[in-house]
Amino acid sequence: MNWLTDGISDVRRTADGWRWGRRSQVPRSAEPFVPAQQSTVFHTDWARTRAGRVAREVAQKGALEPLFRSQVRAHVQGLDVLTKLEGPVIFVANHASHLDTPLILLSLPKKWRRRTAVAAAADYFFDTWWRAVGSSIAFNTFPIERRGGTMATTPGAVLADGWSLVIFPEGTRSPDGFVGNFQLGAAYLATQHQVPVVPIAHRGTFAAMPRGQRWPSPGRRRLTIRFGEPLRPSADESPRDFAPRIRDALAALLDEDRSTWWEARRRAAAGRTPDPAGAATAQWRRVWEQTADLDPPEQSPRRIWHH
């Protein structure tokens, strides 16, 4: 059988050295270096001009809000904290769905909504011109490079112009509805520009339209959103020290939304606020928990079980 073994070896050696299709004969390690293609720089300053603001008001009140209200039911709490502020501020929220941005913006009073911009991933919302223009008009987004690159507008410049920001410090939507690790961007901006951070906790958006779903689930799912007391960084506080305070405040708001203000306060005082990252358990159980309906039991339709 040696002749068969030798024949197979010859065939394999020939296949390895043959240029199937257009395969290069030069090893990859010896190929010349080709710099990565620079991402396109999108300018969104036009969206914050007077004409852009008028177009956005028409788009939000005439199209976005009626469509949003027809698909989900939103319950808003804590807007009174904004009466103590002048702006600009940084709104920091958990991120579980594409419904998060319209939920936040449409929950804000008109005075705040008209002067709030949203930091959005350049590689997703600004990968095509029509998506870039659409998101800029509807949500006043400006691109943030998650992988590094050139930006036409920086968050600091938007803050300096007097605009408040919506930032999702997780950087991407949660795959299971629970809160992920916080990046330091929001804390860095707050400490560098000495602007307050308003934590926002919301629930129900993952159940209504989880990652990978293109349209809200039928049945007008109930969403809740809660605005927390503003957090102000001290003069000598670093972003690495301030970021955990923001995350703890968001965790307390989520706990309050699930229970009551008093119970959440007691747990926070005792250092027993539930971790918003959830329990370390099977992925299907985490997803199952976050897709539960938020309607109170007395408002849920009765079900008859037949034995």
Q: Are strands 197-203 and 221-227 parallel, antiparallel or unpaired?
A: antiparallel
Among the listed residues 77, 50, 72, the one whose alpha carbon sits nearest the alpha carbon of residue 223: 72
Give the pLDDT of residue 13: 65
Would you say 211 and 243 are in contact if contact means Cβ atoms under 8 Å apart? Answer: no
Question: In which domain, by residue range, is 98 found?
Answer: 46-292
8 Å CB contact between 84 and 131: no
Residues 159 and 165 sit within 8 Å (Cβ to Cβ):
yes
- Has residue 138 been placed in a domain? yes
Q: Residue 140 domain-assigned?
A: yes
pLDDT value, residue 158? 92
Asked if residue 168 is part of any domain, the answer here is yes
Say if 24 falls within a structural domain.
Answer: no
pLDDT (0 to 100) of residue 127: 81
The pLDDT value given to residue 294: 85
The answer to whether position 208 is within a domain reads yes
**What local confidence, expressed as pLDDT, does residue 31 receive?**
67
Q: Is residue 27 part of a domain?
A: no
HEC secondary structure over the chain: CHHHHHHHHHHHHHHHHCCCCCCCCCCHHHCCCCCCCCCCCCCCHHHHCHHHHHHHHHHHHHHHHHHHHHHEEEEEECHHHHHHCCCCCEEEECCCCCCHHHHHHHHCCHHHHCCEEEEEEHHHHCCCHHHHHHHHHHHCEEEECCCCCCCCCCHHHHHHCCCEEEECCCCCCCCCCCCCCCCCHHHHHHHHHCCCEEEEEEECHHHHCCCCCCCCCCCCEEEEEEECCCECCCCCCCHHHHHHHHHHHHHHHHHHHHCCHHHHHHHHHCCCCCCCCCCCCCHHHHHHHHCCCCCCHHHCCCCCCCC
Q: What is the pLDDT of residue 244?
A: 95
- The count of structural domains within the chain is 1
Residue 19 domain flag:
no
pLDDT of residue 151: 52
The reply to whether 237 falls in a domain is yes
Calpha distance 274→251 (Å, rounded)? 7
Residue pLDDT tens, the chain, 307 long: 665 666 667 666 666 555 545 556 666 666 676 665 555 667 888 999 999 999 999 999 999 999 999 999 999 999 999 998 998 999 999 999 999 999 999 999 999 999 999 999 887 888 888 888 999 999 999 988 765 545 556 888 999 999 999 999 998 999 999 999 999 999 999 999 999 999 999 999 999 999 889 999 999 999 999 999 999 999 899 999 999 999 999 999 999 999 999 999 999 999 999 999 999 899 989 999 999 888 764 444 444 444 3
Residue with tokens 């028409």: 58
For residue 260, CA distances in Å to 254, 263, 296 come to: 10, 5, 14
d(CA 155, CA 143): 9
